[in-house]
Amino acid sequence: MLLFKQKALLQVWLGKQRQEGEKIGFIPTMGALHAGHLSLIRAAGEKSTRTVCSIFVNPTQFNDKEDFDKYPATVDQDILQLEAAGIASLLLPSIAEMYPEGIAHLPRYDFGYLETVLEGKHRPGHFQGVAQVVQRLLEAVRPDYLFLGQKDFQQCLIIKKLIELIHLPVELVICPTLREPDGLAMSSRNLRLTAMAREKAPAIFQCLQYIKEHIRNLPVEILKGNVRESLQKAGFSVDYVEIADATTLQLLLALPTSGPQGKTVALIAAKIEGIRLIDNMVI
């Protein structure tokens, strides 16, 4: 595996790959890699002939400084995992490499409604930061395919919109959420859970399953109320429990009973012992 700290050198290598007809798949990450990331690498291996990963903990997408400071860093182990997974190259840039002009005057994007709900509402500025770094990464790599995890459902919709806004010819591939045997969605932040919090954390998945099982026989408000209550009883501080249209993220007060039935998604964000976990399920 080739490790690049500079975008320009990666681009020289990518140019050669393209000349040889290789199809480039790209997986942006913030490191602390787990099996969920590796599942994206496997998916990339099926569609592209050269897979490029990036590891960059992007400061502009953290609205909570403590979350940024405490974000797990396991770069040496990550490199070993990527090598074993058959990644062709890794971009490991510094903050100065990604933002040579500093972070004070970065572009702003118009994501409209999408940025006003759920993660957008609870983490102001988060998706602007995500878009700022993803645009730079996409412009550096110019991949044929971009692989993202459904685990970050709203982020997938934001990046889809970003790709439209900046007119980049890249195919977005959304991969299913990988879970621990007890249902907890794999996440780098899980490394920060104490044994007690780790034991409680699968409650979020169980609540999503509860919503899926009862969506047809209980009113949406009752369902959401029951889930909130059970998470709070288990010691979570709940940011949101919502049921939304899976394409637009319009929040649903009731399931549509007539007309075309689009896909619906249940989404939860909650903190346990100060660690914020998110998960979702298409129902």
Interface residues toward ligand AMP, by CB under 6 A: 29-30, 36-37, 39-40, 148-149, 151-152, 175, 177-178, 185-188
Q: 147 pairs with which residues across the strands?
A: 173
CB 11 within 8 A of CB 140: yes
What is the smallest separation between the CB atom of 204 and ligand AMP, expressed in angstroms? 12
Residue whose pair of structure tokens reads 């058959």 in the numeric block = 86
User: CA gyration radius for the chain?
Assistant: 19
Active site residue 34: no
What is the smallest separation between the CB atom of 219 and ligand AMP, expressed in angstroms? 31
What b/e sequence results for 128-151 when a residue is b if at least 16 CB atoms lie within 10 Å of its CB, and e otherwise?
bbbbbbbbbbbebbebbbbbbbbb
Q: Which is nearer to ligand AMP, 35 or 222 (CB)?
A: 35
State the CB neighbour count (10 A cutoff) for residue 5.
12
SS3 1: coil
The closest alpha carbon to 156, from 167, 144, 140, 172, belongs to: 172
Q: Which is nearer to ligand AMP, 88 or 175 (CB)?
A: 175
Given 34, 37, 126, 214, which residue is catalytic?
A: 37
Q: 241 pairs with which residues across the strands?
A: 268
Q: How far out from the chain centre does Cα 90 lie?
A: 19
Rounded to 5 degrees, φ, ψ at 34 are: -135, -175
Q: Which is nearer to ligand AMP, 55 or 220 (CB)?
A: 55
Q: Which is nearer to ligand AMP, 40 or 220 (CB)?
A: 40
What is the smallest separation between the CB atom of 17 and ligand AMP, expressed in angstroms? 22
What is the smallest separation between the CB atom of 201 and ligand AMP, expressed in angstroms? 13
Q: Which is nearer to ligand AMP, 60 or 187 (CB)?
A: 187
Q: How far out from the chain centre does Cα 273 lie?
A: 22
What is the smallest separation between the CB atom of 91 and ligand AMP, expressed in angstroms? 13
Q: Residues 6 or more apart from 104 whose CB is under 8 A from it?
A: none
Alpha carbon distance 50, 46 (integer Å): 10
Catalogue the active-site residues: 37
